[in-house]
Amino acid sequence: MAKKAAKKTAKKSAAKSAKRSAKARSSAPKKISYKPTHSQDVIANLVFKDSGAAIDFYKRAFGAQELMRMMAPDGRGVWHAELRIGDAIVYLNDESPMGGAVAVSLGGKPTASLQLYVRDVDSTFNKAVQAGAKPTMPVSDMFWGDRMGGVTDPFGQMWMISTHVKDMTEDEMRKAGQDFAAKMAQQMGEGGGPTGAASMT
């Protein structure tokens, strides 16, 4: 009898302890992630004279999904906006003379290009051009296994649009790169300098 009573007491004590632990866990402050749940570690933040127009363009050209848009108090400027393009997040905001980064319209110059991988580079390239982008490099097969073309959007941002079409080993890519370099040297020696993407195939 004493053993049974001791077992019952132990079970009750364990149950109470488990309840107290569960209650403590539920009342503990929720741990905040170091980044928003939908975010990624590195995000391009693009600056525009008119972010609203840029958002509309990216929706038409690249199928962008608008995640949020925070307007300035006067309701005319975009303080912060977020787009999802493919599996990546891109931030946008309107230019400001007080800001560290400025749009092309304030004298800023693009110092980087954005790389966009899509299922059909030819279709996306043509769609971007139809939406107002300027072609900077025709779509061609590249020696590293991508099919790629380049555009500058109506807001001065440079985009390299690609579809991966061939998996290559490091040795294969190195050999292809050497062949490419030799081809370029020959073209330069003949006085016919490289002409865009066609020279990179």
**pLDDT for the residue 26:** 61
Which of 82, 79, 98 is closest to 90 using CA atoms?
82
Residues 36 and 168: their CA atoms lie apart, in Å, by 35
| Closest by Cα among 129, 139, 128 to 58 | 128
Tokens 């490091």 belong to 170
For residues 180 and 143, the answer to whether their CB atoms sit within 8 Å is yes
Tokens of 28: 């503990």
Q: What is the pLDDT of residue 37?
A: 77
Q: 70 pairs with which residues across the strands?
A: 80
d(CA 107, CA 66): 27
- Backbone phi and psi for residue 83, each to the nearest 5 degrees, phi listed first: -125, 150
Helical H segments across the chain, by residue range? 2-27, 51-62, 121-130, 170-189
Q: Domains plus CATH for the chain?
A: 37-109 (3.30.720.120), 110-184 (3.30.720.110)
pTM: 0.74
Splitting the chain (201 residues) into consecutive groups of 10 residues, what average pLDDT does each group show?
57 63 64 82 92 97 97 90 96 79 66 92 98 97 96 94 96 94 86 53 57
Rounded CA-CA distance 159/153 in Å is: 7
- How far apart CA 144 and CA 136 sit, in angstroms, is 20
Q: Which tokens belong to 1? A: 């009898």
Q: What is the largest CA-CA distance in the chain?
A: 105
Q: pLDDT at position 76, please?
A: 86
